[in-house]
Amino acid sequence: MNPAMESRKAEFWLCLARAFLAPVSPQSQAALHECLAEDLEEIVRELDYPVAEDLAALRSALAFWPERDALLSLYSRLFLVPGRAHPPINMGVYFDGTVHGDTVRRVAECYRACGLEKNAAFADLPDHAAVQIEFTAWLFAAQAEGEPPALRAGEFIDAFVVRWAPLLRRDLAQASALCPPERNPWLALAGILDKAATREAALFRANHHEATPAALEEAEIKRLRREYAGRMPGAEELATLREKLLADGLSAQHLGRTSAERDAADGLRTLAPPEPLRHSLSMG
């Protein structure tokens, strides 16, 4: 581990975190418009993130918005206006298909495992893009201090950020009715985030041979499908199930039939499971 490199990564990710907050104050608008691209470019010189093209796109997009407060209007139009299709700012939507799903709990558990809680003054959910990115920056900073937290930055990126970053980038590219891609600084920022997350996830996987949380979860699902799909319970298992059902006052008559037999009797047919829910824009 290189403490100086970890520290620079913390700076880079903190810059990105600030950029994904609503630029409400004149100070945040000035930082976004006048400092962000230069700061990121300076830090990236020391990091192996292939984002030069996206940085150029960021500079070009920001030039379309000379009035600083116009960036706040654009941010609101892209992420916050209710009643119209727009990219999410709460990344759990990509995992759960809805706001305030199980991902909120999962990321909050990651924060708590490191002794952190979301600031009560921040009036949004723990899965907000800026919160997750800032947490990543905190993890890198902790690693730079030589006190690795319960969760490594690469591990969190691999479990969460690298999975939603390309989807956010896709949705921002599709949001042309809200902002043309060449004028959208958050599209360029999502590209920077996506490439940085991809690089960090790859480094984590290369340096840690153990399976990541996401890989473990997927492997366990596949194992259970192989073990139980189409298999009838044995006599001992059926007896246990029957005893439990009868004790609860429920019928156990169905236990002797296969699922295919039950479905046929009920007029049902086998369907393929649906794909996981994903947020997508319909600009029609």
How confident is the model over 228-255, as pLDDT tens digits?
A: 565 666 777 677 777 777 777 777 777 7
Whether 81 and 160 map to the same domain: the answer is yes
With bands split at pLDDT 50, 70 and 90, how would you rate the model's confidence at 225? low
**Mean of pLDDT values over 139-152:** 90
Whether 89 and 193 map to the same domain: the answer is yes
Across all residues in the chain, what is the average pLDDT? 85
Whether 179 and 247 map to the same domain: the answer is no
- Residue 157 pLDDT greater than 70, yes or no: yes
Residue 213: name the closest of 269, 167, 151 by CA.
151
Which contacts (CB < 8 Å, 24+ apart) does range 225-234 have? 232/258
Q: Which domain holds residue 251?
A: 217-265
Whether 222 and 206 map to the same domain: the answer is no
- Residue 224 pLDDT greater than 50, yes or no: yes
Whether 22 and 96 map to the same domain: the answer is yes
Whether 145 and 100 map to the same domain: the answer is yes
| Per-residue confidence (pLDDT) for residue 221, from 0 to 100 | 62
| Per-residue confidence (pLDDT) for residue 124, from 0 to 100 | 87
**3-class secondary-structure state, position 253:** helix
- Asked, for residue 83, whether it belongs to a domain, the answer is yes
Task: Give CA–CA dist 152/252, Å, rounded.
Answer: 49
Whether 203 and 64 map to the same domain: the answer is yes
Number of domains in the chain: 2
With bands split at pLDDT 50, 70 and 90, how would you rate the model's confidence at 222? low
Paired tokens of 30: 């000035």
Question: What share of the chain has pLDDT > 90, as a percent?
Answer: 60
- Asked, for residue 61, whether it belongs to a domain, the answer is yes
Whether 194 and 252 map to the same domain: the answer is no
| Per-residue confidence (pLDDT) for residue 94, from 0 to 100 | 93
Whether 52 and 147 map to the same domain: the answer is yes
Whether 168 and 223 map to the same domain: the answer is no
What is the pTM (predicted TM-score) of this model? 0.74
**Mean of pLDDT values over 195-212:** 84
Whether 223 and 202 map to the same domain: the answer is no
Specify the CATH number for the domain of residue 168: 1.10.3480.10
With bands split at pLDDT 50, 70 and 90, how would you rate the model's confidence at 172? very high
Whether 192 and 234 map to the same domain: the answer is no
